[in-house]
Amino acid sequence: MSVAAVVALLDELGAGDIAHPGGDLRSHLIRTHDTLRGWSAPDDVCLAGLIHAAYGTDAFPLALLPLGERPRLRLLVGEAAEAIVYRYCSCSRQVSYARLDEVPWPMTDRFTGEVVLLDRDEASAFAVLTIANERDIVQAGGVDTAGAAAIEDLVRALRPYLQVAIPEVPDE
């Protein structure tokens, strides 16, 4: 479950050749991991941050691995980190984000259509990973002013789920 092994997998899968705000997907994934590490997120969340787009997402549909490769990723990063990656990739954002005020949070899986009630730890892992990901996109210049404001609205909506302290973004 080493960072180096996950980076080697990213290299094998060509993540450095995939365009992403701020350069390439590999760089974004590493920055997301580093941000999570800097926020003292749990190890499994940090490791998940390093490969959080493995199965594609609503916003970034290009998958590095097909869902059939979940066992491969699970062997590499561990069951907990892979579960976080799957949950992140499977989130139907439009449906799920509209229900962020509900506790427990009912997240809709875009792959299966199933609604899953996230427990406190699952919701916290999802929230901190989402915030690290979205803030990296903003910092990389991947969104305009309105998009950055929408991301900070999302951050505010996710804050009640956090079990990790994250910094406020200063007003500009």
**Does the pLDDT value for residue 172 go beyond 50?**
no
Between the alpha carbon of residue 118 and those of residues 88, 123, 127, the distances in Å are 12, 5, 11
Residue 127 scores a pLDDT above 80: yes
Q: What is the pLDDT of residue 2?
A: 86
In the chain, what are the domain boundaries?
Answer: 3-161
pTM: 0.95
* Per-residue pLDDT at 89 exceeds 50: yes
* Assigned CATH class of 3-161: mainly alpha
Instruction: Say if residues 101 and 1 touch (Cβ distance below 8 Å).
Output: no
Average pLDDT of the residues of the chain: 94
> Residue 47: is its pLDDT beyond 50?
yes
